Structure 1
Amino acid sequence: MNVAIIGGTGYGAVELLRFLYNHPHVTVSKIISHSNSGTPFSEVYPHLVNLIDTEMESLDISTLAEEVDLVFFATPSNVSKNYIPELIDKGIKCIDLSGDFRLKDGEQYRNYYGEKMAPEKYIEKAVYGLSEVNKKAIENALLIANPGCYPTATTLGLIPVLSHNLADYQNIVIDAKTGTTGAGRSLSQGFHFSEMQENFKAYKLGIHKHIPEIEQVLSDTANEDIQVTFTPHVVPMTRGIMSTIYVNLKERQSTKQLLDLYKEFYKDKPFVRVREEGIIPQTKEVYGSNFCDIGLYADERTGKLIIVSVIDNLVKGASGQAIQNMNIMNGWDEATGINQLPIYP
């Protein structure tokens, strides 16, 4: 199958290429980057010289639709919505790594993304690509809205306890940290070495664009409106997300009882690993992999459940999950091409 990547010079694109390079069913036939059209990809990423020397191209939708079967959009927000409708109308499968098709509410999209949402009929066609939860819908989808990195870690951590109605829906506190690649490859003063080294900062309190996405997924799970307190932080590491979540349990539960529930919930999900009692996952343990590792502690003294969920933001939080969704869409084993060991140390 021939695929294209649009947004060819970002971290999402190079991570897609890392996994697709050895994928048995896929050839990356086009890499699209308007700003680098005519430039070999290995000039932008020299570590790929003699491996991926594909010359990047400008976007021509008509030509693209004739030459590829699926398109990955690794573009910033408010870009893919301008091109995906035409590709969808031509029958080309699309997986969007941005947030353009995740939200269902146009007012929320405008408030958090600053522009008008994509046309309603295409929003309705989009399937939210949380692979472990929406697999059946993904199998028949033409358009996948790939989840954000924070929402992936957070919702995978919360869905089992919420789906069993064991927690107070209206008192969810999420304390999340990300590495610097979460900000993308564009230059920003706040992410210079001298600004980040030996530093640790909270940002975008109350206005982060992943807030409505998290609330939408959790509300769909609980069948009632849920609001969360979400505080994102950036830490001086390259990759990784740790989402530490606090919920009030409705009745007393032991850590073992809840771990058993989580293990049962994710028993057929190859990329979610629920840790044993007393073992809390670390970001280093999923580095470079498509795994989401979850640890639990039920504090019987306070009646709170503490959930720790870790992912690699560029893999399970972006490109790895996009390939997992591609595999599901095409009826392949969902682990094809991405079932790699984490990099350690």
Structure 2
Amino acid sequence: MVKVGIVGGTGYTGVELLRLLANHPQARVEVITSRSEEGIPVADMYPNLRGHHDITFTVPDVDRLAACDVVFFATPHGVAMSMAPELVERGVRVIDLGADFRIKDIELWEKWYNLKHTCPDLVAKAVYGLPELNRDQIKGAELIGCAGCYPTAVQLGYLPLLESKLVDHRRLIADCKSGASGAGRGASVGTLLCEASESVKAYGVPGHRHLPEIRQGLSGIAERPVGLTFSPHLMPMIRGIHATLYSVLKDPVGPDLQALFEERYRNEPFVDVMPAGSHPETRSVKGSNMCRISVHQPQGEDVVVVLSVIDNLVKGASGQAVQIMNLMFDLPERSGLEQVALMP
């Protein structure tokens, strides 16, 4: 049985970890922390977990966390890097759902997150947490920087095209939409019902914190720096990311794109390449760890349009983190992640 600690259990990714781990046959949550909710039973804050987790929130304590096999950080940026070095030194495997260990260029990270990074040496050792890209490295890793939500949807959509060098890597456009839960559980005027409902709003077009992470990932896949325009939007829904991805083929009469995607993801348990002509919907992945993808070549011309949908809290965060834990501890990759998406 894998003993699990969770730092930051009151946000959306924290409670999603609790939901998924409640039905995991080989993992047990031993510690869950929250400074503001110390002493409060988890089930009192989240009644959906009644009968599943008999545990109370405690303040973060390194000694208690060090008794776990793995510790998840479901925290804002800047938190994991303050505790991860000691946990790793004491033999605990760490999975950070935040951004502290995703970007390898420390100076770039500090620019986008407006913080001084306190353990740059660990960043070099951390493995980027996207299983479809780094499965073998994840298995032996001590520290994981779990891929972000937008970066997951975008990278999985572009991966077959860039690996095969079929498209112009300098001309990539990612037009992405996210539900309001992507902004976190903290109170914000922009995500109030009266502000977000019945409206679609672009944000972060001049620059979004996920941009350098996506560029880093796509550049690694393409084996050269990519040119990327990334435009995120807020949608009037709770969960989900829809990424519409554009690229230009070097040769419009090249390989069969449908076959390319089906072959690349044939053995991936959480990527579903849909039949030709499909238009995946966010509701088809709600509550599940699945990424559904379709690929189009409109009018047979040189533009490729890839549609990629995920649940931002599952495959875009907590589900991906559990998938990573399964790989790290040599457990069946689907363990705790067999949920069928909720429809309607």
TM-score band w.r.t. shorter chain: over 0.9
C-alpha distance in 2 between matches for 1:176 and 1:117: 29
Superposed, 1:325-344 pairs within 5 Å as 325-344=324-343
Residue 93 of structure 2 aligns to which amino acid in structure 1? K
Q: Which residue of 2 aligns with 1:24?
A: 25
Please list the CA deviations of residues 183-203 of structure 1 after superposition, one character each: whole Å capped at 9, or x if unmatched. 010000011111011111001
**2:89 counterpart of 1:113:** no
2:206 pairs with 1:206: yes
Cα-to-partner distance string for 1:75-109 (whole Å, 9 max, x where unaligned): 01111111111100111001000010000011210
Higher mean C-alpha deviation, range 222-231 or range 37-46: 37-46
Q: Is the partner of 1:268 in helix, strand or coil?
A: coil
How far apart, CA to CA, are the structure 2 residues paired with 1:206 and 1:252? 31
- TM-superposed deviation, 1:47: 2.7
What is the CA-CA distance between 1:126 and the residue it aligns to? 0.6
1:300 Cα deviation (Å)? 4.3
Q: Write the distance in 2 (CA, Å) between the matches of 1:320 and 1:63.
A: 24
The letter of the residue matching 2:19 is R
Residues 7 and 13 of structure 1 are in contact (CA less than 8 Å); yes or no, is this contact kept in structure 2?
yes
Normalised by the length of structure 1, the TM-score is 0.97
Q: Is the 8 A contact 2:19 2:49 kept in 1?
A: no
CA distance in 2, matches of 1:117, 1:167: 35
Q: Take 1:228 and 1:244, find their aligned partners in 2: how far apart are those partners?
A: 13
Tell me what 1:97 maps to: 97
- TM-score w.r.t. the length of structure 2 is 0.97
2:36 corresponds in structure 1 to 35
Q: C-alpha separation between the residues in 2 aligned to 1:195 and 1:120?
A: 39
Per-residue CA deviations over 1:216-275 (Å, capped at 9, x if unaligned) read 001111111113100000000010000001101000147x81010011111110100001
- The amino acid across from 2:78 in the alignment is N
In structure 2, give the amino acid aligned to 1:122.
L
Contact in 2 for aligned 1:100/1:118 (Cα 8 Å): no
Match of 1:268 in 2: 267
C-alpha contact (below 8 Å) 2:198/2:236 kept by paired residues: yes
Query: SS of the counterpart of 1:309?
Result: strand
Q: Give, in angstroms, the shift of residue 119 of structure 1.
A: 2.0
Stretches of structure 2 that go unaligned for 5 or more consecutive residues are none
Residue 50 of structure 1: how far off its partner (Å): 3.6
Q: By how many angstroms is 1:283 displaced?
A: 0.4
**Unmatched 5+ stretches in structure 1:** none
Deviations along 1:55-82, one digit per CA (max 9) or x if unpaired, are 10001102321x2111000001111111
Residues 120-131 of structure 1: pairs in structure 2 closer than 5 A: 120-131=120-131
Structure 2 residue 158 is matched with structure 1 residue 158:
yes
- Runs of at least 4 residues off by over 3 Å: none
* 2:286 aligned partner: 287
Q: Secondary structure at the match of 1:132?
A: helix
CA–CA separation in structure 2 for the residues paired with 1:285 and 1:13:
23
Match of 2:142 in 1: 142
TM-superposed CA distance for 1:49, in Å, is 2.9
Aligned length in residues: 343
Residue deviations 1:149-184 (CA, integer Å, cap 9, x gap)? 000000000011001000001110110000000001
> What one-letter code is carried by the residue in structure 1 that aligns with 2:136?
K
CA distances 1:94-130 after superposition (whole Å, capped 9, x unpaired): 1000010000011210111111224222011110010
Cα distance in 2, alignment partners of residues 61 and 184 from structure 1: 25
1:283–1:310 contact (8 Å) kept in structure 2: yes
Q: State the partner residue of 1:318.
A: 317
Against the structure 1 CA distance between its residues 186 and 324, is the aligned structure 2 distance closer, same or farther, given a 3 Å change threshold? same
2:8 corresponds to = 7
What is the distance in 1 between the residues matched to 2:267 and 2:300?
33
What do you get for the CA RMSD once the two structures are aligned? 1.2
Cα separation, 2, equivalents of 1:236 and 1:299: 28
| 1:68 aligned partner | 68
